[in-house]
Structure 1
């Protein structure tokens, strides 16, 4: 959309809103890792971005309606659950943050539903920038360069510009997948390009490793296998698939070599051996994380409106560390099922988007696989207030809307084409 205004000298001032929106999208996503201050730069830019986007005009595709309906239902039930706890500050703030994040997922879905290819490119490139910055900060903090460990790597676990090493490690996966896919598809050209990409991949994986987050480790490994399988599926020709296998082997070998070097350092090895255990002290026992989750189930069956936002901790002394149990605790039965359906339908949409031929399939594979890893991590950590989960979920739904618009356009063009003569 173009806005024209006469200039004093008789010329015209032309404001290209599409270019401004895309530039603000790149800036927004590039700031996504700076969450250690509140409100974060991401949130401040997002508010301004939303206003500019509204001025540019937009269209909402009907495929986004199920997303909006599930989000509205979940927030409505969460509001009902919070009524007895409105006087409790942390509950109200939690509910308000949930409402804000829910609005963002619909916003991103509509945003990526238009000009989806260009905007998803900007999303992935901006996300990579933020991942590189976060990984550098995390590694510097873990090495305690300039006494930065107290800020960026407390307790010997890198967390970069985040407040939690688990969030830090998980955040880096999408940036890593973007580079991995480009290398597997042969989109990284030249010796210098391949070397830089491989070095950046090792940097991001170093950040994931030094977070000492078991969930992030598992998510990175699973995402690597899934991305390689999907890329192999869409690769054209035996030659491309052979190259893919070779590059995959090189990346895995480089990652294993880096891991062995890291484990040769006593400080790293000691923390690794502790964190590599499938269960920690706070996981086991009747009052541990898993014990609390089991004890909460009978209670939740008797509470159709849930315990109220953040009230799980008042019963058990800890948060549920399971987003699915947390959904029922925070928003009751209907709110919990709305969350489950949202995850389930988003997963279905994501897989269809990744396998159906379209111009958006390659970018969608990165966005959806990263999102799917967060969904899986939701079984062992609370992801419901991770900003980038809503960004990627909106990306998946928006790209599906863009794909359906593309199919409608192709179908219309085919109908307008006269039949060929025999």
Structure 2
């Protein structure tokens, strides 16, 4: 027997009742405060000017508060998630012994471990009550994305001249992030979430969300991040496939096709419109090429990736985090899979690849089994696939939203699989 919520089934009834009994001593008001605190933590993820960001410090409080409030459940599936993440960190500490210096790579791996452990707690939070908890996290995420997007547009169009240099970089919108590339990637899950609301909500609600969707998409475009554009394209294709193939009626499919055609017309019109702005047109033409001056040549991005591949083959234990840019090449690898093999050795790198593949496979099975695009599985898996592909051209191993999206996928999957609580 399973528990149904919002048209979706999660876990088995017996473990849920046991969990409720164990948490009965926790006052509802305290739980509510913990949830509000987590919402604030996720929303603070829009401000990433310095490291560590406010999100990092606040998240530590959430990791302590959520279990105390009885809002974390750890089924057996999350044990596998924890083992994979800890194995990656262990490989990183071993690789640190091969580095020429100790403090920088050790700090990098420790940050990886911190992100990993907090991700497990967030996955347990989602497993505790999947639909409401994913909705809570994503509502805060969208709020953060809107703040970052509005700031990016204010800076790019020089609405507040004194903030232009703070909110842009090299003619690209970065908003409240220190890097336009991370801003663009951060916005993609929010775009997919809001798009899902536009397509599935009632007309009045859809009309409310449509302008917000336009702001998010425009900010993503003006980040001029080629990786983010690829990320968004992959996410939209995957989400569109889920939405069409898993629709329960031809009427829903016709509605989706109509919306897709309408969105395509609007997107083309918007692109033509922004092309009339000289600074946008020039930058778009420049960034549309996938062979920038810093990409080609032995000292360019692709040349660096060739060096990295050779080093991976020669160093089974890895060379230590950030050693590649210190000793072998002017910049980082800009390819997360090669980078993880360098940072964590063959052991940690292989575990990282397995983690990504396991997340994708489990997520796909979950979405197909649910057969309901109104659920959040389709959004999260589409977003994760986009990030996984973007990882081929950028280092994503310390992206906070990468661990957050991955945690939600594992949490939803774990809630569907009966098992003893930890």
- Structure 2's unaligned 5+ residue stretches are 1-22
Q: Secondary structure at the match of 1:309?
A: coil
Assess if the C-alpha contact under 8 Å between 2:39 and 2:137 holds in 1: yes
Say whether residues 1:115 and 2:144 are aligned partners.
no
CA distance in 1, matches of 2:108, 2:314: 23
Question: Do the aligned partners of residues 280 and 85 (structure 1) sit closer, same or farther apart at CA in structure 2, a change above 3 Å counting?
Answer: same
Say whether residues 1:401 and 2:414 are aligned partners.
yes
CA distance in 2, matches of 1:33, 1:371: 19
The number of aligned residues is 395
Question: Of 348, 360, 366, which residue of structure 2 is paired with 1:353?
Answer: 366
Assess if the C-alpha contact under 8 Å between 1:184 and 1:228 holds in 2: no
Matched residue, 1:144: 158
Structure 2 counterparts to residues 93-112 of structure 1, below 5 A: 93-112=107-126
Matched residue, 1:41: 54
Assess if the C-alpha contact under 8 Å between 1:131 and 1:171 holds in 2: yes
TM superposition shift of 1:245 = 1.3
1:340-366 deviation line (CA, Å, top 9, x unaligned): 111111110111111112789721111
Question: Of 82, 94, 115, which residue of structure 2 is paired with 1:68?
Answer: 82
1:29-66 deviation line (CA, Å, top 9, x unaligned): 21211111333221222111112112123431111122
Question: Of 241, 249, 256, which residue of structure 2 is paired with 1:229?
Answer: 241
RMSD after superposition: 2.0
Q: Secondary structure at the match of 2:295?
A: coil
Question: Do the aligned partners of residues 15 and 235 (structure 1) sit closer, same or farther apart at CA in structure 2, a change above 3 Å counting?
Answer: closer
Say whether residues 1:331 and 2:344 are aligned partners.
yes
Assess if the C-alpha contact under 8 Å between 1:353 and 1:361 holds in 2: no
Matched residue, 1:160: 175
CA distance in 1, matches of 2:54, 2:257: 40
Question: Do the aligned partners of residues 355 and 270 (structure 1) sit closer, same or farther apart at CA in structure 2, a change above 3 Å counting?
Answer: same
Q: Secondary structure at the match of 1:32?
A: helix
Structure 2 counterparts to residues 271-420 of structure 1, below 5 A: 271-313=283-325, 314-357=327-370, 362-405=375-418
TM superposition shift of 1:15 = 5.1
Assess if the C-alpha contact under 8 Å between 2:320 and 2:343 holds in 1: yes
Question: Do the aligned partners of residues 321 and 126 (structure 1) sit closer, same or farther apart at CA in structure 2, a change above 3 Å counting?
Answer: same
Question: Of 210, 235, 246, which residue of structure 1 is paired with 2:222?
Answer: 210
CA distance in 1, matches of 2:67, 2:372: 26
Assess if the C-alpha contact under 8 Å between 1:165 and 1:212 holds in 2: yes
- Structure 1's unaligned 5+ residue stretches are 5-13, 409-422
Say whether residues 1:26 and 2:39 are aligned partners.
yes
Assess if the C-alpha contact under 8 Å between 2:311 and 2:342 holds in 1: no
Question: Do the aligned partners of residues 37 and 188 (structure 1) sit closer, same or farther apart at CA in structure 2, a change above 3 Å counting?
Answer: farther
1:282-306 deviation line (CA, Å, top 9, x unaligned): 1111221111211232222121111
Question: Do the aligned partners of residues 243 and 360 (structure 1) sit closer, same or farther apart at CA in structure 2, a change above 3 Å counting?
Answer: closer
Say whether residues 1:134 and 2:134 are aligned partners.
no
CA distance in 2, matches of 1:259, 1:266: 13
Assess if the C-alpha contact under 8 Å between 1:113 and 1:399 holds in 2: yes
Matched residue, 1:169: 184
TM superposition shift of 1:89 = 3.5
Normalising by structure 1, we get a TM-score of: 0.89
CA distance in 2, matches of 1:153, 1:370: 25
Mark the structure with the bigger radius of gyration: 1
TM superposition shift of 1:210 = 0.3
CA distance in 1, matches of 2:65, 2:116: 19
CA distance in 2, matches of 1:304, 1:64: 28
CA distance in 2, matches of 1:225, 1:359: 17
Of 383-392 and 86-95, the range deviating more from structure 2: 86-95
CA distance in 1, matches of 2:300, 2:372: 47
CA distance in 2, matches of 1:215, 1:278: 10
1:226-259 deviation line (CA, Å, top 9, x unaligned): 2122112232222222112112222222122111
TM superposition shift of 1:145 = 2.1
CA distance in 1, matches of 2:154, 2:347: 45
Of 196-205 and 332-341, the range deviating more from structure 2: 196-205
Q: Higher RCO, 1 or 2 (CA under 8 Å, sep at least 6)?
A: 2
Normalising by structure 2, we get a TM-score of: 0.89
CA distance in 1, matches of 2:171, 2:376: 35
Say whether residues 1:92 and 2:106 are aligned partners.
yes
Of 281-290 and 349-358, the range deviating more from structure 2: 349-358
Matched residue, 2:19: none
Question: Of 241, 252, 259, which residue of structure 1 is paired with 2:271?
Answer: 259
Of 277-286 and 19-28, the range deviating more from structure 2: 19-28
